[in-house]
Structure 1
């Protein structure tokens, strides 16, 4: 019944191409989406905190988000929960201790972009007018060591990516993810750049250029403008998602003989293009960026995919200091995945947390001066890239900003 009602209200809603072709009036008719509460756990080495299972992680992050928004769990109308490693309905098991309210709970798995996928789906439900207050939750309880496939008796979702990579570079015993991103780095170096030799995990990636596996959780509460009108205290917290877009692999991923495209360059570029277009902004309008730096090579090529610099100029961008404090952009003030860890289902929502804190001027020593527009990039191989644009909603607590084009 829920799905039928949804399709009747928005017949082209799930058709991505039709959504992109919507008229300005159709876009304006969609509800604005606001983040009003965020919370996260510390990301830690798997198993470091004793008796810290995923329901405990979820309880901590959701409780913090509810406290941040100063609302009760009873006001949450539905939840979208993201995790990669776990059984079916872990989302329900994680949230039941917080409240047995009977709300719909949807479980999402989209590899490393799982958290932002949960965020996107939650935003779409607010945008479409189906609910006014919803929760996006992500968590991961991981095993130590490099990521590996959990099933050997069925098709690996990365088989096409590995096959294409192996035609260009010999596949070896190094972790598959490090080979994919390392070879993307090799391709970039051959086209534009050079780096110094150092001990390698997989050339050109050293151990400290690879993000660690982690346990952790993050959560965000999203609401409509109507909900804010009925809860006036939320105006001080509200950060608007001006646009959030997802792109998946296209033929260029596998046909280009380019490992940068194999790890999502074109996906990221397409998602960023549509996000900026729908937000009515350009990359140069951004001050703070949370970017998916699972490997250092990916951060470098993603600068270019997001339009933060032109192709082949990422090295110059770094040398000029335009990716850090005092430069054009501040990228990953949170420390990024390499610094703080990468619990797959939580990462995208942790990025949302950091950008909300930055835009509210609540980031303490990490605070980016005059942060007005935030950009989020979260990518999962297999694949899906999510890009979102954020803005403080009611800066002067008087009049709201002009309605976005989300």
Structure 2
């Protein structure tokens, strides 16, 4: 996710300059936007940095993270996100003046749209906005079955993965999204997979190189793994299963390709509990630096694919080392850590001594409701609305418990009345 949003400025600039393909391989990491005195931050927006390239994205991730931790964002903040949507159903990265209608010159953002769709679905609010966003995403699917960062740009693993997650959450059968030549979103991702018998086998490239070569990209591998599983960004805790394996062959299922990605990611984290990113252009540090965001994304991908045990050391590392990064990175960074905690049954309200939920809430308007504390791995877990939990179980369990206690109280009152009779 970190690379995806860092690349937003480059992608948007390329579109404005008329370039059809902003990237041929993995995007270059650039510095995150910084506060600008010329930008008036709107009421309802989360975060304090310039929202030009990530306003909708960070707002949507904040809502997703709050919802899985039983926090309902304020009406003001939800209304802000709703007003960002264009009549077509699409979202841009950020609209400074939402009263100005979107037109042919407006640069649409598939990633921001997918994130907003997931947020509205999880919130259980404005389902019409979520469906309109999903319809727009379907309308801009590329012929190879995938999606690029902007409509018409070449498909990439990150964009395709996050769009699949959004469409799946709205109930769209992903395998039925076929193009004229029979391509699907899954085959678009599989075309970016590195075969198991090659170097970095199981990994995914962001996009093919100029000569069609595939270069392993950790962020793309995590996004593709989630996409091939048909999962959104917020996944629930599930028990670990057998070790991931890399399956060879040309006719793999989406599940097999996802497990290949998990195999690569697990092996990568086995060598080091955190991923690295190359130094940014102009940075004083010349050595690779820890990549907190992509490490958190990889934790989620491994948990979603049934291998959270392979991410345990990374969760511990994030708990010990991510405090400063999350504070500096703002709502999206804090949300990524909450996703990682939620997917592995860690406590987001005591993550290395930090209450991530309170930290996230403080970056925006006061929430409307903070209903429950973070569920513990051993206690009963009420449904948070994510696709990973058993729908309705918590509700009926509570109803049954209420009836049981109600019957018990009625019995005691009846006995007391009998004893009081002359």
**How does the TM-score come out when normalised to structure 1?**
0.29
Question: What TM-score, normalized by structure 2, do the two folds share?
Answer: 0.28
Query: Which structure would you say has the larger RCO, counting Cα contacts within 8 Å and 6 or more residues apart?
Result: 1
Q: Which has the larger radius of gyration?
A: 2
Higher share in strand: 1
